[in-house]
Structure 1
Amino acid sequence: MLNNINKSQSLADWLCYLESIHPVNIEMGLGRIGRVADDLALTTFDAKVITVAGTNGKGSTCALLERILLDAGYNVGVTSSPHIQDYRERVRVNGNMLTAQAHADSFAFIEAGRGDTTLTYFEFTTLSALKLFQDAALDVVILEVGLGGRLDASNIVSADVAVVTTIDIDHADWLGTDKSVIAREKSGIFRANKKAICGVINPPTTIAEYADEVGAELVAVNRDYHYIQNSEGWDWFTDLTKKNDDTPLRFSDLALPQLPLQNAATAIAAVQALGLAIPESAIRSGVANATLPGRMQRLGSSPQQFLDVAHNPESARYLATQLTRLKQQAHSPVKVIAVVGMLKDKDIAASLAALTGVIDSWHLAALQGERAAPCQQIELGLVDAMLLNGKSHDSLSQQAMSHDTIAQAWQSANQSADCNDIIIGFGSFFTVAEIIQHISG
């Protein structure tokens, strides 16, 4: 039965419709989406496929892979989620967003083919992305996993190279709090006789165990490939690949990336595993030039303004290292002023605890939407974070201010800042989106 929506509907109308056609936002499992994908022949490509899972670093790794492969001259498609401002951010072809009409036409194709099978928003949009990629005649398809790995919608496609970036606790309601279990779930994207890249530092043993079970060829950081940072840049090397003179492959004096170094090293390992010709010049330029909105995204100076989507303990720890580096580079003492909004299902205390040593003052606010943590919940989380780090409640009361909206918090932070200070907005993709929306009017 053809479902009740006009094929000519706008992209905005389609997105509203997609939010209404399934009773829940998340439903783990590949049965429903797998049936539709098989009926519409959407799971096979005349292209190499890379699937990227992990707690953090998925988007950065995908952006690095994309930039390297584009610089090498390949046609590349990438999925990314969630979007920050525009739904079309979720599908890029050769570095560009597609038109709203292209998405609407793809949605109409999926809608006509799904019959009576209900699909979640993410399942529907994943199928649409696969359709768009098939129509684009690509050389490489890069799929960012949404949640977990084994049961994520993207896993209906068997990857030539599967990547796990990092493992930490997030989405605990769905994935639990045992890192070994989480690692095994994310390793569910591995395939027999295909390369599986593990970029996790000190990984749970379940990653290697699962690779052995399914017969995947595991390539692990600090075992099969290595990277070393020095004062001027960094080196990447491996014994798995030999150069023409039979010496181990090594890239020396690479420029430090604008995205996390760990993810850059993982991306190089993944492109080496693809079996495509990748010139060293593409490795160097791709690593140096890859960027991604919401990852230490610089908005302005005087005061310095940055946005970051850090929203769990691991990503908050990385953000702390970045802010510490900026403080150390300053020629005079500077304050770091935070604007924070988070979702209520996140580990707020542990996330903020990672940053209490570097942030000097806090501006807190509730995000828009049902999942938003009330400001009081963020306040209590900050109190717990300060206490975890041995700081008194009295010192906190002088540092934290609560606001009705993220826009008000951002305005107040800027009003309190000196010209050399650093303002960082973080806590969620939604935090970044609301600040950008406020600035852009």
Structure 2
Amino acid sequence: MSVSRSAPMSAVRFRTVFPPALVLAAAVGYIGIGFWVEEVSEFVPGAVSPFVHAGLVALQALILLLRRRSPVGVFAGVVLVDLVILASAAGELGVGSLAVMIASYSVARHTSRRTAWTALGAGAVATTVIGGGALLLESGAPLLVIVFTAVARIAFLYAIPAVVAEYFRGRERLAAALKDQARMAENERRDRAELEVRAERTALARELHDIAGHHLSGIIVSAQAAAALTMSDPERARTMMQTVQDDARITLTDLRRTVGLLRSDDDDRGPAERPRPVPSIAALPALIDAARDRGQRVSYELTGETRGLGPLGETSAYRMVQESLANAARHAPGAECHVRVAFGPDAVELTVSNEAAPLATRPAGAEVGSGDGYGLAGMTERAELIGAQLTTGPTAGGGWTNRLAIPLDERNIA
């Protein structure tokens, strides 16, 4: 941990100290030239000693150490020192140019465009006026030389550092955009995975409820009926208990098949664990016969030309009838139920209704209500998946009606 932290800190310190060190090296080198070459003062106009100029360059190096904290202030200070050097050397000495270039890059890199261009423009004008004026007044250089020198100074001291800084700022923005894009893609992938997991959990919960809820409701009703018939009709009570056992076995088998769908080693499953074909409208007569065997009074009516639906449509239709009958057995025991399937030209409509439960046939402890819970929520979710319309509600006579209209479109036709 400490090694990983110290490495970036060392890099930051190096980037902070290295440019001023270069400027300071230039000042030391200029002093060395003054020591070893006595004719330097003859080539540099003005009466100022080279050691003074070197000291001014060293001052620039010290100012540059603060360029990250105050880019504009450091730029102004460095340019001001360079102007002093130019004014004292008849506009011909460029020993302070390196510090100006570094300060120009820093102000263009670490400030806004408006601030940077304002500072650079002001520096370019000041350099042109002071340097060009000193060159014209003290050295008497031709106008063409003065113009060329001014343009070269503006280009090298301000324009080129600004262009380089803008290039690296563009790379930083690109890297930041790519990083944000990667983060957004990761967040989107994580959200999509969470939605998929949530959808799978909802589908599994819906399937488990449809399987277990139907059979468990039948088990409860049959057990209550068997308990009521134990004394008055022992033979029928034994028959009802046998129905309870059969429903329990079917529930266990269906649950094993459903759990088996979650396993990856499908080839290792035995025939009893492999999933059955999806429930369908054609299987409704068997479902109704099983309800009748448990003591429910159920009528069944099929009208219109039968047409095959897709797997989702067939499953939704079957589960709607299954859940409706289970709710009727649980909340309205003894009530007569009516199942009607009507195939039309544009839709197939399934209606399951039950009358009010007779008080005399209601076993002790039976619940009375609409059954508005996970079952109706599951029916609603299945209807939304296939674009069907589900309507549920009580009837005027105290019963309950569930109606599912499945459109016969490309999504639902097999």
TM-score between the two structures when normalised by the length of structure 2 = 0.18
Larger Cα-atom Rg: 2
When you count helix as a share of all residues, which structure comes out higher? Answer: 2
